[in-house]
Structure 1
């Protein structure tokens, strides 16, 4: 029996569509993107294995690789916080919810992040994420251009 190769082409196609590509992107482009992503993942895993015990790769090693990028770390901490909130909401039986009772998620990864976070910048959400803000502005500009095209006189006459 031949083993099947795992592919992420369907997921990548959906992501490409979500980021503005056509509904059915060119299959060659999807395979190219998949190859690039897999190569990057292999590189990240190989780098993280340098900090592991050599047998198991844990989240700590991956977090350790991100430690120099405070924006990525903040996004990851926010993800952990959201994940904790979702789990708390699913496990609650009552309808009363105390939001932000403990704003920092507690878990093995969060404890490790607090341990390596000497300045507290990974858990400080008061500073604006410039990278995310730039993405939002780009997306807004693109949507405004699309709105202008959709409401052009030619478009109105066609409808």
Structure 2
């Protein structure tokens, strides 16, 4: 299988295979993920991000901006309050971790402000954070009413179940995998250089740093959603006619939804098989299958009516 790497103007090859492999491991895949599966997931993430950028570019042009900002990317998420809530919490966590980001929020600096000249006076205007944009889009206060992040909870429960019987060496490797992301490091200047080179190798589009931060979050969520869906497919494949508890037999899929019947789950990490290409393709087939009704499989204008769908949104 051909890798979906990108080559920039300097001839440097950029890919995220190592990071995606670690992320899949952290989300519950085998410690040595299938190489072909990693390449496939990488291609899916890259295609999804570039589609988001193209759609966000249209919003950016319509409001007369010269660059794609976080507002344009977050606008794509406006119909998903749970994802907006996760992005909201994501920025709060970054504000605690990244000292430079915390300083930007508390005290305006040269990097944090936009000079605006009006009547021969230079005014200081603060950049809009992700939280500011989300509050503007959340007119019905749906995001603020979400008090429990069920997605994060289920992933943490799965991770806890996987690590119950781990040795220290394996847990250390698993912890490092859990820390992997599309962000190459913390800091205002160096955090998303690799990500931008990957999705925008020719630099024909201008993407602001906050927009890259949101794209980093969505790329991470795309990998997580694919792995989550694979475990659900594995659970479905365990069903046997006449036995309502058959799908809970064996714990190698480690689906957190089955923890209500914990007696049917085997703790531990050793038996987790690597996610295959066929399982990822089945995830895509189920996700992108048109709905019934006017957008059904036999609707003649189906291709014109179906909107672009994003796995992470």
Q: Do they fold alike, i.e. is TM over 0.5?
A: yes
1:112 to 104, 124, 133: 133
**DSSP 3-state at the match of 1:37:** helix
Structure-2 change in CA distance of 1:84 and 1:52 (3 Å): same
User: TM-score under structure 2 normalisation?
Assistant: 0.37
Report the aligned-residue RMSD. Answer: 3.3
Which is strand-richer, 1 or 2?
Answer: 2
Q: Is the 8 A contact 1:77 1:123 kept in 2?
A: no
Structure-2 residue corresponding to 1:31:
39
Deviations 1:44-100 (A, max 9, x none): 111111111364111111111111101001111111222223338976xxxxxxxxx
Which is helix-richer, 1 or 2?
Answer: 1
Unaligned runs of 5+ in 1: 92-105, 151-159
User: Is residue 2:267 matched to residue 1:146?
Assistant: yes
Aligned-partner Cα distance in 2 for 1:137–1:22: 17
Structure-2 change in CA distance of 1:38 and 1:120 (3 Å): same
User: Is residue 2:78 matched to residue 1:78?
Assistant: no
Unaligned runs of 5+ in 2: 1-8, 104-125, 162-250, 257-264, 272-313
Aligned-partner Cα distance in 2 for 1:7–1:120: 39
Aligned-partner Cα distance in 1 for 2:48–2:158: 25
Aligned residues: 135
Structure-2 residue corresponding to 1:59:
70
Q: Is the 8 A contact 2:28 2:158 kept in 1?
A: no
User: Relative CO higher for 1 or 2, CA cutoff 8 Å, sep ≥ 6?
Assistant: 2
Tell me how far 1:107 sits from its aligned partner: 6.0
